[in-house]
């Protein structure tokens, strides 16, 4: 019984699974309030600030990874509501967020 529990625990803590959980946690804690669970920005702030729907194929195609990374790291030059996260997140976390935003692309 304990052996099985230990096995399940070690599977949960495998590095790749952990990284995926980690980025979702960061998104929920720091991004979701404005951008929504799915990046569609169907939130109060999203409506007020007309935040773009990141799931749109056109948006995904227009933005390079570098542009997305820069918006997260340095904030938006057009809207101060989008703050610079480089002081609050590590470079690895920001890279993971870029990857996570890519998974939001509408199918
Ligand atoms: C307080 C609300 C708020 C929070 C929290 C927030 N954002 Fe934003 N975000 C915005 C707004 C407003 C814009 C639109 C900026 C603009 O129009 O230039 C934006 C824009 C962006 C863009 C660029 C969109 C574009 O078209 O250039 C990215 C990428 C982004 N946010 C990612 C994130 C990530 C990742 C997080 C969490 C670490 C986050 N945001 C947290 C409000 C927020």
3-state DSSP of 53-105: CCCCHHHHHHCCHHHHHHHHHHCCCCCCCCCCCCCCCCHHHHHHHHHHHHCCC
Select the more confidently predicted residue: 17 or 92. 92
In angstroms, rounded to a whole number, what is the distance separating the alpha carbons of residues 65 and 95? 9
Give the rounded percent of residues in the chain with a pLDDT score beyond 90: 79
In angstroms, rounded to a whole number, what is the distance separating the alpha carbons of residues 75 and 78? 9
Structural domain containing residue 47: 19-102
| pTM higher than the cut 0.75 | yes
Q: Point out the ligand 1 atom lying closest to the alpha carbon of residue 33.
A: 5
Residue 9, domain member (yes or no): no
Residue 11, domain member (yes or no): no
Number of domains in the chain: 1
Cβ of 51 less than 6 Å from ligand 1: yes
pLDDT over 80 at 10, yes or no = no
Task: Indicate left, alpha or beta for 41 from its phi (over 0: left) and psi (-120 to 50: alpha).
Answer: left
Here the CATH number for the domain that contains residue 62 is 1.10.760
Cβ of 97 less than 6 Å from ligand 1: yes
Residue 5, domain member (yes or no): no
Residue 8, domain member (yes or no): no
Q: Point out the ligand 1 atom lying closest to the alpha carbon of residue 98.
A: 35
pLDDT over 80 at 33, yes or no = yes
pLDDT over 80 at 4, yes or no = no
- What is the rounded average pLDDT of the residues 26-40? 97
pLDDT over 60 at 14, yes or no = no
């Amino acid at each position: 019984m304990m052996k099985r529990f230990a096995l399940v625990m070690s599977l949960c803590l495998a590095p790749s699974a952990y990284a995926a959980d980690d980025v979702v946690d960061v998104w929920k804690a720091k991004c979701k309030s404005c951008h929504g669970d799915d990046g569609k920005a169907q939130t109060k702030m999203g409506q007020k600030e007309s935040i773009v729907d990141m799931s749109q194929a056109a948006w995904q195609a227009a933005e390079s990874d570098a542009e997305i990374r820069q918006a997260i790291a340095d904030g938006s030059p057009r809207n101060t509501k989008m703050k610079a996260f480089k002081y609050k997140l590590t470079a690895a976390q920001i890279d993971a967020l870029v990857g996570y935003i890519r998974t939001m692309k509408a199918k």
